Structure 1
Amino acid sequence: MDDQNKNLILATALSFGVILIWFLLFPPPEAVEDPNAPAVAEATVPAAPEASGTPSATTEASGVTETAAEVADAPRIEIATDRLSGSISLQGGRIDDLKLNDYRETLDEDSPIVSFLTPSGEPHAYYALYGWAPGAGLSPEQVPSANTLWSVEGNDTLTTDTPVVLAWDNGNGQIFRRTISVDENYLFTVNQSVENNGVGAITLAPYGTLTRHGEPEDMKNFFILHEGAMLQGEKERTDLDYSDIADFSADPVWGRHAQAEEVAGNGWMGFTDHYWMAMLIPQSDQAFTSVFRYSPSLDTYEAITRFPTMSVEAGASAEIDSRLFAGAKEWATIRDYERNNGIFRFIDTIDWGWFFFLTKPIFALLHWLNAMIGNMGWAIIGLTVILKIIVFPLAYKSYASMAKMKELQPEMEKLKEAAGDDRQKMQQSMMELYKKEKVNPAAGCLPILIQIPIFFSLYKVIFVTLELRHAPWFGWITDLSMPDPSSIFNLFGLLPFVIGDLGFFEIFSLGILPILLGVSMWLQQKLNPAPTDPTQQMIFAWMPWVFMFMLGSFASGLVVYWITNNVITFVQQYAIMRQHGYKPDVFGNIKSSFKKKPKEDAK
């Protein structure tokens, strides 16, 4: 086996192994539904019992609580912007009903709008709640809790131009207000204030919390995508799976699995899904304590920002601003919040992975091309062309080296005959020949080795970014983030029936794009004659079709990239090898691959 073929098989095996790893899926754990548990006080505030309305053992067992029923029956104020719709419950002042107007569940025109936040008592409830933990001069009943019924002052619809003001008088001389505003995208600003009209000073600590009931039902559980909790500190970011939160040690006061961390500023925390996220974002210079906790009895996950204790003298007032992002993980929107709203490293809420130094610029270029062209499929093809131009100098050296190796083939055969069975002499002679002719036998595998991180990075970009979701190309390719929907079983739509769920046999339901991928790889092989070794012949003969079946279930956008890459590689390699004196006989190699081998050659 010559060195060129050894290197090619090694590089192909490496890329093959990388793709196999991507098929590892983690099974999702079962989730249980149940409602809200309010936030804890800061450590410096005297530990208080949980707010009123905490479910009893009886209501916990039934999966329904009075709190959930009260939230369902409570009055609401409307959220109405171009991009958001929903409502805020006056029971607790919860932001718990939010729909993303620009996105639908499926490609069907009649498909429901994506519902992101949902009230307590509904399946997979998910909401934001704000409040105060009591300190000196206050009892738990004298601060707003999860069950406080707020009243509305003034405007009763939240729009980008009209904030809403919620108010509550505790009957003890303190008036609490919560002013909620929202911008043209997904960023809410929540101002919490307290006016102390009592006879003495009070101390209390504000907090914000995101509560999620059970794990999301639509989790991908794919190891290249982080779905769960995120915490950005002043310097480092921490990603936690839901199982990580459940594994925290039990809190001796609250009986929950909890972990707290002090954040000096420039931080945010919350939960991220595949395409959507909710993040609590204090002001940039605001110190806070981050708490992630899990209640086994309620199966609730919470992300809590606890702020330092405030002391408010009689006749004085205090307030604090914080922000809430609740919406789609749009690259341009998130980047704008990072650059213009001072949200530190907010772009990293998108899971760029280990190859972030490649995935970030690759997506930025893809986004720019899509804006210029107006079609993500053609943008992927344009991206492929640009990437091939960037790596062309290395590819040129590689293909030139391969052409030179072909020229040296007769001399290498003579060295093999002269060396006989002396393998050491043969290796020494070949190394001297390589040195004399200035040929690097390892250069032939460079294009494939370079392709591995680029392919992985593009796969990551196509899989995790929202911009590829439901993005059409042309014809039958209506979603580049999903596999090719055509199927060989109904002759790619020519037969009048639709292919349903085939289970295990789905891998054989090849679409047009995977078949084109296999053909493009097969043609690329035909630039060189088939190797003489039978084992090599078998590997090379099966390789394009194995990849065709493997990648048939991958996102169409990735297959488009690979086909384009193969076509450009074929043209480059053919032109460069001819330039250096070797003329690939593509049609001759194709014909020879269909010839029946003599029996003595097959032995």
Structure 2
Amino acid sequence: MKDDKQNFVLFAVIAALILFGWPLIQGKFFPTANPPATKIVDGKSKAIANPSADPAADGAAAIRNRQVVLAETPRIRIETPRLSGSINLKGARIDDLVLKQYDESVAKNAPPIRLLSPAGSPDAYFASFGWRADGLTPPGADVVWKASSNALTPTTPVTLDAANATGQRFRIVLAVDNDFMFTVRQTVLNAGTAPVPVATYGLVNRVGISKDPSSMTIHVGPMSVDNGGAHYRPDYKDVDEAPQRFTTKNGWLGFTDKYWLTALVPDRNETFDGQFRAGANKAYQADYALQPKIIAPGAAVTQTSRFFAGAKEVRLLDRYTDREGVSQLDYAIDWGWFRVVEKPIFYYLDWLFRLVGNFGVAIILLTVTIRGIMFPIAQRQFASMAAMRAVQPKAKALQARYKDDKVRLQQETMALYKAEGVNPLAGCLPTLLQIPIFYALYKVLMLTIEMRHQPFYGWIHDLSAPDPLTPLNVFGVLAFTPPHAIAIGVVPILYGISMYYQFKLNPTPMDDTQKQVFAFLPWVLMFVMSSFAVGLLIYWITSNILTILQQKLLYSRHPALQTPVEK
């Protein structure tokens, strides 16, 4: 009895550590799901206008209204099937870009995502291309370039021209595809009387860090592909301390958010110096410069680079990587260690979604597929458990006989398992196999923009966000929103119930403390899982239901497993 009480106290302490320590662990290794896309008011689901916006961006912290800044300089339009915006002719900057197919929230008439904004406006973020001033006098930031047309489209590139006082002419030809990739051709014609060094550069400058949280499992911030590898360091703090530099060929650099990316892609055949550095007013810059070339009088040099600015769509990044030669652009999505599992799961889940038209249903079908594949393993697990149950009396006899000789006990026990054809670890295999699958689905739901703002049914309008419907405010009837950390939603409660019934079907433990532990554990897990994306909980609930059905079937074949082991 004393040991039972000690065991129960120990479990209570462990449960308390899980309940109160989990938020700290989760923030480091498993960042919470996307901010809620909706909230429940008077029992009805209402969209949150802009859950990701900085509330001070257009208030006192704003420098000037964006529309005022845009109107201050001459511009040419950018118009593609997926982008709209403008190019600033003063300084030849791409500093106005909107992603037409992605909205800020699930609210009706929500504005599209704005990726780039001009300097002097809230959340300034822009790209620029030019030439270093080492022995050359390139056009300055205040020069207004001449444009060949008034709009950049996938079928009509735009040519920008400028000149200096020493006889050099500068030309930038901008083209854009039907997605998010710009091509930048920079030419210098030396019409002067002396040779000049020409070193092309490109830069991306942003004010402030990303609003998306960065963690050990999901990188947000500066990123580069250089010297044969994808690098998710440095982070913003490293750049604050000192500029971060590298030299490479066939790489790229830029800034990644959870769903959006800006990437400078120099000519893959040219060696370039890349760096990340911090400026005044929390501005951060990624830039590259090619090695200088000496241009003789009457000669010209053209160097081509690319600039990606858009959504990190899996198929699109794979296409740019595999077909268009942008080295490891697909690594802009931080798949992590289980990439080999995660990408096939994504592609299969995306195929199911295209088949049925609902991501929640696709997750259910994915779960059915996974459990179907694992069913033969589960059969072997149950057979192993039945065999283990059959040899328990003999194992107990050995424990009594060799209780004072631990080494002999271990030897005799292993000999018994070998003689009876029992593998004590076989029952762990299905659980171990589910760990990378669960983590892979977690990463897919957290990282891929294809899951963003995908609805299920009823009040669930975003499978990548936590369940907004909670009984703590009587399902939205009471006029307050509980803190996210304790707002356990309906779907997590259903998860806890499914875990409870699954545990009820397990073999009855002979230890009373174990019974209490298994009775309480489902509700601890319910709390732990409450802040995860609804899509993950749908996967787990479906998996639990299938496990219950599977256990009923297999227990009918091995009824001895439900008989408690005698003390």
For the criterion TM > 0.5, the same-fold answer is yes
Displacement after TM superposition at 1:452 (Å): 2.0
Amino acid at match of 2:451: L
Give me the TM-score of the superposition, normalised by structure 1: 0.79
Counterpart CA distance in 1 for 2:23 and 2:543 is 20
Aligned with 2:166: secondary structure? coil
State the match for 2:44 in structure 1. Answer: none
Counterpart CA distance in 1 for 2:207 and 2:267 is 27
Deviates more, 1:444-453 or 1:199-208: 444-453
Counterpart CA distance in 1 for 2:304 and 2:411 is 74
Of residues 283, 289, 313, the one that matches 1:300 is 283
State the match for 1:260 in structure 2. Answer: 245
CA contact (8 A) 2:146 2:161 kept: yes
State the match for 2:144 in structure 1. Answer: 149
Amino acid at match of 1:515: I
Counterpart CA distance in 1 for 2:199 and 2:118 is 25
State the match for 1:449 in structure 2. Answer: 432
Aligned with 1:209: secondary structure? strand
CA contact (8 A) 1:131 1:145 kept: no
Q: Percent identity?
A: 41
Aligned with 2:284: secondary structure? strand
Counterpart CA distance in 2 for 1:498 and 1:103 is 33
State the match for 2:344 in structure 1. Answer: 361
State the match for 1:591 in structure 2. Answer: none
- Residue correspondences, number: 518
Amino acid at match of 1:23: Q
1:524 and 2:507 aligned: no
Structure 1 unaligned regions, length at least 5: 2-8, 29-61, 249-257, 589-603
State the match for 2:99 in structure 1. Answer: 100
CA contact (8 A) 1:514 1:551 kept: yes
Aligned with 1:371: secondary structure? helix
Displacement after TM superposition at 1:453 (Å): 2.2
Counterpart CA distance in 2 for 1:174 and 1:88 is 23
1:286 and 2:285 aligned: no
Amino acid at match of 1:230: M
Displacement after TM superposition at 1:508 (Å): 4.0
CA contact (8 A) 1:400 1:577 kept: no
Aligned with 1:288: secondary structure? strand
1:502 and 2:482 aligned: yes
What are the superposed Cα offsets for residues 271-292 of structure 1, whole Å, 9 maximum, x if unpaired?
Answer: 1001000000123323211122
Counterpart CA distance in 2 for 1:530 and 1:179 is 74
Counterpart CA distance in 2 for 1:477 and 1:582 is 42
Counterpart CA distance in 1 for 2:449 and 2:24 is 23
State the match for 2:515 in structure 1. Answer: 537
Please, what is the CA RMSD of the aligned residues? 3.1
Amino acid at match of 2:359: M
Aligned with 1:451: secondary structure? helix
Amino acid at match of 2:153: T
Deviates more, 1:449-458 or 1:428-437: 428-437
RCO comparison, higher one (Cα < 8 Å, 6+)? 2
CA contact (8 A) 1:132 1:145 kept: no
Displacement after TM superposition at 1:345 (Å): 1.6
Counterpart CA distance in 2 for 1:70 and 1:412 is 80
Distance 1:316 1:430, change over 3 A: closer
Counterpart CA distance in 2 for 1:434 and 1:459 is 37
Distance 1:204 1:181, change over 3 A: same
State the match for 1:370 in structure 2. Answer: 353
Amino acid at match of 1:502: P
State the match for 2:121 in structure 1. Answer: 122
Amino acid at match of 2:179: N
Give me the TM-score of the superposition, normalised by structure 2: 0.84
Deviates more, 1:77-86 or 1:17-26: 17-26
CA contact (8 A) 2:69 2:120 kept: no
State the match for 1:338 in structure 2. Answer: 321
Of residues 188, 193, 215, the one that matches 1:194 is 188
CA contact (8 A) 2:204 2:254 kept: yes
Give the alignment of 1:362-401 within 5 angstroms: 362-401=345-384
1:548 and 2:547 aligned: no
Of residues 293, 302, 305, the one that matches 1:310 is 293
State the match for 1:36 in structure 2. Answer: none
Counterpart CA distance in 1 for 2:182 and 2:480 is 42
State the match for 1:352 in structure 2. Answer: 335
Distance 1:421 1:152, change over 3 A: closer
Counterpart CA distance in 2 for 1:335 and 1:430 is 53
State the match for 1:596 in structure 2. Answer: none
Displacement after TM superposition at 1:127 (Å): 0.5
Of residues 229, 237, 241, the one that matches 1:243 is 237
Displacement after TM superposition at 1:145 (Å): 2.8
Amino acid at match of 2:277: R
Aligned with 2:560: secondary structure? coil
Of residues 394, 402, 406, the one that matches 2:389 is 406
State the match for 1:572 in structure 2. Answer: 550
Displacement after TM superposition at 1:426 (Å): 6.5
Counterpart CA distance in 1 for 2:62 and 2:449 is 34
CA contact (8 A) 1:72 1:119 kept: no
Aligned with 1:391: secondary structure? helix
Counterpart CA distance in 1 for 2:180 and 2:23 is 38
